[in-house]
């Protein structure tokens, strides 16, 4: 005698399998997006960056900017995307990306340097900042990606030991190389004073510098001065959507 199918067991199994299949497809699409975005930036770096062993002296030539053998061809970059304003490099954390600036702070959250839609987005400057990094305080944003790309590894600076191996970062522009010394790293709630980037006076800016210095998770040993501009690198943090991790760097003399 043939047994009947017991639908009480079959239907839940099929439903569970459908959920599993849906989740697997979504994860596959997510990681494919990560892979595609990473390959895009790797190919871009291979195309426009030269990193040869050279003297420590800083040089500038027609092809871009050169410092310690690392050079960026901004002519090529501008042909691909005229929104480019610089290139950020934090070698030990494997952070090496072009910086763009859009008309708002939304577009490059979901578009790569090639303006392709992708969750990894771009590293981009605050839309209201001066594109030449001449403001007292400039914000540079990047996603905290699950595959540790973009600005994800900035969160490692929450550990003082990591800071000692990453005390500075470089920003390359068509006009030269700028070195920034990290003077504060901390988590801040959205809307906090740390997010201010416009000041009425040098005194207000100096007060802001001291405020964020006092919030640092650890003492970096760097004491910023009001005549030194700040670039703040910002990314999301595991603490929640209402918080951001901020790394403040002051322009070296």
Give the pLDDT score at 87.
97
Instruction: Please tell me the total count of domains within the chain.
Output: 1
Q: Is residue 22 part of a domain?
A: no
Q: Does residue 20 sit within a domain?
A: no
In a domain, 15, yes or no: no
What is the pLDDT, as a whole number, of residue 65? 45
Distances in Å between the Cα of 200 and the Cα atoms of 90, 114, 126 are: 31, 37, 18
pLDDT for the residue numbered 50 = 83
What pLDDT shows up at residue 127? 97
φ, ψ at 234 (rounded to 5°): -130, 140
Residue 76 lies in a domain: yes
What pLDDT does residue 112 have? Answer: 94
Asked whether residue 178 is domain-assigned, the answer is yes
Which domain range does residue 138 map to? 32-251
pLDDT at 39 (0 to 100): 81
Q: Please report the pLDDT score of residue 185 as a whole number.
A: 97
pLDDT value at position 20?
52
Q: How would you write the pLDDT of the chain (253 residues) with one tens digit per residue?
A: 555 555 555 666 556 655 555 554 455 444 445 656 678 888 888 888 887 644 344 444 433 444 567 899 999 999 999 999 999 999 899 999 999 999 999 999 999 999 999 989 999 999 999 999 999 999 999 999 988 999 999 999 999 999 999 999 999 999 999 999 999 999 999 999 999 999 999 999 999 999 999 999 999 999 999 999 999 999 999 888 899 999 999 999 7
pLDDT reported for residue 240: 87
Q: Is residue 16 part of a domain?
A: no
Query: The domain spanning residue 110 has which CATH number?
Result: 2.40.260.10
């Amino acid at each position: 005698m043939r047994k009947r199918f017991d639908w009480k067991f079959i239907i839940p199994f099929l439903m569970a399998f459908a959920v599993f299949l849906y989740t697997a497809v979504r994860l596959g699409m997510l990681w494919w997006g990560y892979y595609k975005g990473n390959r895009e930036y790797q190919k871009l770096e291979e195309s426009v960056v030269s990193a040869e062993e050279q003297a420590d002296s800083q040089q500038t030539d027609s092809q871009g900017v050169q410092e310690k053998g690392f050079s960026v061809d901004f002519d090529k970059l501008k042909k691909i995307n005229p929104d480019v304003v610089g290139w950020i490099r934090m070698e030990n954390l494997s952070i090496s990306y072009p910086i763009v600036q859009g008309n708002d702070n939304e577009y490059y959250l979901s578009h790569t340097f090639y303006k392709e839609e992708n969750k990894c987005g771009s590293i981009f400057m605050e839309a209201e900042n001066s594109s030449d990094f001449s403001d007292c305080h400039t914000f540079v944003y990047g996603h905290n990606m699950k595959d540790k790309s973009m600005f994800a590894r900035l969160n490692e600076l929450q550990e003082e030991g990591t800071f000692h191996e990453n005390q500075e970062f470089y920003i390359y522009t068509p006009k030269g190389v700028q070195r920034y010394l990290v003077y504060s790293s901390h988590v801040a709630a959205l809307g906090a004073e740390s997010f201010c980037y416009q000041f009425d006076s040098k005194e207000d800016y100096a007060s802001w510098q001291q405020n964020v210095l006092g919030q640092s998770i650890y003492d970096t040993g760097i004491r910023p001065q009001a005549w030194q501009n700040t670039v703040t690198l910002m990314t999301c943090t595991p603490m929640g959507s209402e918080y951001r991790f901020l790394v403040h760097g002051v322009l070296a003399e």
